[in-house]
Amino acid sequence: MKYNQLYINGEWVNPISNQFLDIENPANRKIIEKVPRGNEEDVNVAVEAAKNAFVSWKNLGPGKRQEYVQGMIDHLVSRFEEMAPVLASELGSTEKFALKGHLEGYEESMYAFLEHHKSISYVEDRGNYRLYRRPQGIVACITPWNYPFGQIAKKVIPALLAGNTVILKPSKSTPLTAYFWAEAAESVNLPKGVFNLVTGKGGEVGNVLADHPDVNAITFTGSTNGGKEIASHGISHSVKRVTLELGGKSAAIFLKGADYSDALKGVLDSVYLNVGQTCSAKTRLLIPREERETIEKLLIEKTKEYPFGNPLLDEKAKVGVLNSEDQWNKVKKYVELGLKEGAKILYGEVPEEIGTGYEIQPVIFTDVLPDMKIAQEEIFGPVLSVLFYDTIEEAIEIANNSIYGLSGIVYGPDKEEALLVASEIRTGQVQVNGAAISQDSPFGGFKESGMGREGALEGLEEFYEYQTIFI
C-alpha cells in the first residue's frame, strides 16, 4: 500500500507539499506509518481532476456507474481480513472488533445502496413538467477518525452512484483505512478523476475544500464545532450543499418494570464497545428513582463483563484503548469535572496516568443532575451518567434537555407505552426495547446533531439536485 502518496486522477502521486503526518498506534504510542500532509496545491490538483471527470462520469449512465461501484464494494469486502489489523492499529481497537464492528458491520448497507439506486427514477414525468435528478457535481467527503471505514462507505458510495465525482479527505488520525478505497477504485479501473484521496489536516485540506469555488457539496462527519466551521466556510464562499453528521448526548430511558438486565446490555454496548468513541452512544441513563438500588447493582455487574485493556498486551481484552492522548486527557478532565459538579462515581475512578497506550477504564456516575456538564457535553469516552426521574413526563423532558438530538433508546414492559415515549424523543433515531439498529436506515440528527441523513434511500437522495423542466 502506497501510504506515502496521494491518489489523484487515477494515479498514485507524490504530495506537492512534500510534507508528511505521523500516524500513531494508540496501543503502544509508536509511529506506524506516514501519510502526506496535503496542502492547497494538492487540493487544487485533485479538484481539477474531479472537475475534468465530472461530465463524462455523470453521462456514463446509472447502470454503468453501478457496475463500477459494485466492483469497488466487492473488492473491499474481499480485503476485510487484511484491512482489520490496519484499522485496529490506527484506531486502537481489537482486531476482532475492527473486523466485526467496523468492517463486516457495514457490508449489508454497502450492497443495500446498490438496491436503492436501482429504484431511483432519474426522470419523472409529472404532466406539464419533468423532474430530473441531477448529480451535485464535485463532492468533498470529510470523514472522522472514530469509524474510519463505515463513514467513508456512507459518503463515497452514494455520491458516486448519483453521478458525482469525489475527493475524500479522511481524518488525520486514522487515514490508513482510506487507502483501501483508493485501491478499490484502481482495481476496477474507475475512470480517472472520479475518486481522489487527499490526506492532511482539517484546516489545511478540509477548509480548503470547503472554500474552493469548484467544489459543489460537502458531506462532513465530526464534532459539532467542526461541522459549524466547515459549513461556515462552504456556505459563505459559494453556498455549497452541506450534509453534517455531528455530535450527540443520547438518552436511554428505562420505564418501570422493563427487563433491566437485557436493557443494560444494549446501553453498555453503545457506551463501551468503541471505547465510548461513538456519536450515538447512549451516555445518559434515565431510570425510575425507586429502581435505583436494583439498577445500580446490575450496572456494576454488567460493566465487569466488558474487559477493557490494551489489545497488544492483553489477549482477553474485548475493548481497546482511546485513539489519542488528546482523547485520554479529555476523558480524564470530564471525570474530574463530574466529581467537582457533585456527581458520585458508582464504578471506576479518575484515570491516573497514561500507560503503554491510551488505556482507559469505564466510569459510571450516579446522582447526576440534568444540567451538569457531564450530562450535557459529549465526552467521547466510556463514561455513563445515571439520572433519576419520578414521572414519565419528567423523563421525556430530561431526555430532550440537550442541544443534541441524534439517538436514543426506550425500554419498557409494554411495547406500546415504550413506543409512545420514543415518539416524544426529539432525535433522528430511537430504539424500542433493544430493537437492532440497521446501517441500512436513515441516520442523522435533530438540533445541533446535524443536517441531512446518511444511509438507506434517504442517504442516497442527499447527493442529487432536482431540476424541473416544463414542457
3-class DSSP assignment, residue 252: strand
236 CB burial (10 A radius; 0-12, 13-18, 19+): exposed
Q: Kindly state the helix (H) or strand (E) to which residue 451 belongs, with its residue range.
A: strand 450-451
Q: Which residues are known catalytic residues?
A: 245, 279
Q: Kindly state the helix (H) or strand (E) to which residue 33 belongs, with its residue range.
A: strand 30-36
The answer to whether 187 and 75 are in contact (CB under 8 A) is yes
3-class DSSP assignment, residue 325: helix
3-class DSSP assignment, residue 174: coil
**What is the number of other CB atoms lying within 10 angstroms of the CB of residue 108?**
11
Q: What length is written for the chain?
A: 471
pLDDT (0 to 100) of residue 1: 83
φ, ψ for residue 252, nearest 5 deg: -115, 125
Q: Kindly state the helix (H) or strand (E) to which residue 376 belongs, with its residue range.
A: helix 373-376
Cell numbers representing residue 261 in the block: 438486565
pLDDT (0 to 100) of residue 2: 83
The answer to whether 452 and 243 are in contact (CB under 8 A) is yes
**Domains of the chain and any CATH numbers:** 6-246+450-470 (3.40.605.10), 251-439 (3.40.309.10)
Cell numbers representing residue 429 in the block: 433515531
Tell me the pLDDT of the chain (471 aa) as tens digits: 889 999 999 999 999 999 999 999 999 999 999 999 999 999 999 999 999 999 999 999 999 999 999 999 999 999 999 999 999 999 999 999 999 999 999 999 999 999 999 999 999 999 999 999 999 999 999 999 999 999 999 999 999 999 999 999 999 999 999 999 999 999 999 999 999 999 999 999 999 999 999 999 999 999 999 999 999 999 987 899 999 999 999 999 999 999 999 999 999 999 999 999 999 999 999 999 999 999 999 999 999 999 999 999 999 999 999 999 999 999 999 999 999 999 999 999 999 999 999 999 999 999 999 999 999 999 999 999 999 999 999 999 999 999 999 999 999 999 999 999 999 999 999 999 989 999 999 999 999 999 999 999 999 999 999 999 999
397's CB contacts (< 8 A; 6+ apart) are: none
Q: Kindly state the helix (H) or strand (E) to which residue 409 belongs, with its residue range.
A: strand 408-411
For the whole model, what pTM was predicted?
0.96
Closest by CA position to 431, among listed 267, 213, 186: 267
| Residue at 310: amino acid letter | N
The answer to whether 117 and 161 are in contact (CB under 8 A) is yes
d(CA 415, CA 109): 27
pLDDT (0 to 100) of residue 237: 78
The answer to whether 140 and 197 are in contact (CB under 8 A) is no
SS3 content of the chain, % helix, strand, coil (to 5): 40, 20, 40
d(CA 346, CA 384): 10
Bridge pairing between strands 363-366 and 383-389 = parallel
